[in-house]
């Protein structure tokens, strides 16, 4: 993920809509990417991951898209539910480096 | 099976003191990573341990240190606390690190007065 900033981007959607959360990363050597969900008072929870040899991966109601050309990652959530309200972080890792670099996070609010 | 546990959950210290935080990984996990989370800087990597050895370290001053025991439990220590050390400290465990899924604990909320 990029160096974190002072403000948390926010996304507000209606229940049932699809959500798209975006993330830019800066390390061209990054080869593994993860999306995490963090609810208030809890630690981050793994959602889905993707390796650099793929450009799309689907899970249950979630899809991650990777564009290595522009170093961009997105998380699509289908039929967003109130329980999806949380902060979403992307993270990346390069090679044998065991360190995850996190993006700044996006606050998703789902309105019933 | 039980998740990652961190103790204590909340801690209040004063400047200049030192603190030790503990993390118990999921049974069978040998890799433990530590992160600092603040509103301004987000989630930042502190260090990662595997089989009692530190494999990687983030860009934090030497006041931040850690260790891992033979049962994979890990501790991190912060000496000479500063106001800016107030943060949520998160521990994550995985089987081997690297590409394995990391499971995070609930964190320890440290407040430095």
Chain B contacts in chain A segment 80-99 (CB below 8 A): 89, 91, 93, 96-99
Q: How many CA atoms lie within 13 A of A80 on its CB side?
A: 22
Query: Does any CB of chain A come closer than 8 Å to the CB of residue B89?
Result: no
- How far apart, in whole angstroms, are the C-alpha atoms of residue A109 and residue A80? 10
pLDDT tops 80 at residue A33? yes
User: How far does the CA of residue A83 sit from the closest CA of chain B (Å)?
Assistant: 18
* Res B9: pLDDT: 96
Query: Is A102 part of the contact surface with chain B (CB cutoff 8 Å)?
Result: yes
Record: contact A43-B42, CB cut-off 8 A = no
Mean pLDDT per 10-residue section of chain B, whose length is 113 residues = 91 98 96 93 92 93 97 97 97 83 94 97
By CB atoms closer than 10 A (0-12, 13-18, 19+), residue B99 is: middle
Count of C-beta atoms within a 10 Å radius of residue B37? 21
Q: How far is A75 from A58, CA to CA, in rounded Å?
A: 10
The model's pLDDT over B51-67, given as tens digits with 9 standing for 90+, comes to: 999 998 999 999 999 99
- Mind listing the pLDDT tens digit for each residue in A75-104? 999 999 999 999 999 999 887 777 889 998
Do B74 and B66 meet the contact criterion of CB atoms below 8 Å apart? yes
B28, B9 in Cβ contact below 8 A? no
Sheet holding B64-68, edge to edge: B5-7, B19-24, B74-78, B64-68
């Amino acid at each position: 993920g990029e160096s974190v900033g002072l403000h948390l981007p926010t996304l507000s959607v209606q229940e049932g809509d699809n959500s798209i959360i975006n993330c830019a990363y800066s390390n061209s050597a990054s080869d593994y990417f993860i999306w995490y969900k963090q609810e208030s008072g809890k630690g981050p929870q793994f959602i889905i991951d993707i390796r650099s040899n793929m450009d799309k991966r689907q899970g249950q109601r979630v899809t991650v898209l990777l564009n290595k050309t522009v170093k961009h990652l997105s998380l699509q959530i289908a039929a967003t539910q109130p329980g999806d309200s949380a902060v979403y972080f992307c993270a990346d890792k390069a090679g044998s480096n065991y360190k995850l670099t996190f993006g700044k996070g996006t606050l998703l609010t789902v309105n019933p | 099976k039980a998740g990652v546990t961190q103790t204590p959950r909340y801690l209040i210290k004063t400047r200049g003191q030192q603190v030790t935080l503990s993390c118990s990984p999921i049974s069978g996990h040998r890799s433990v990573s530590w992160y600092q989370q603040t509103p301004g800087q987000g989630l930042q990597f502190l260090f990662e341990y595997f089989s009692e050895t530190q494999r990687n370290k983030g860009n934090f001053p030497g006041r931040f240190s850690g260790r891992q025991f033979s049962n994979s439990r890990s501790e991190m220590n912060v000496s000479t606390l500063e106001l800016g050390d107030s943060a949520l400290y998160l521990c994550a465990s995985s089987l081997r690190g690297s590409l394995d899924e990391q499971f995070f604990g609930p964190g320890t909320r440290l407040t430095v007065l």
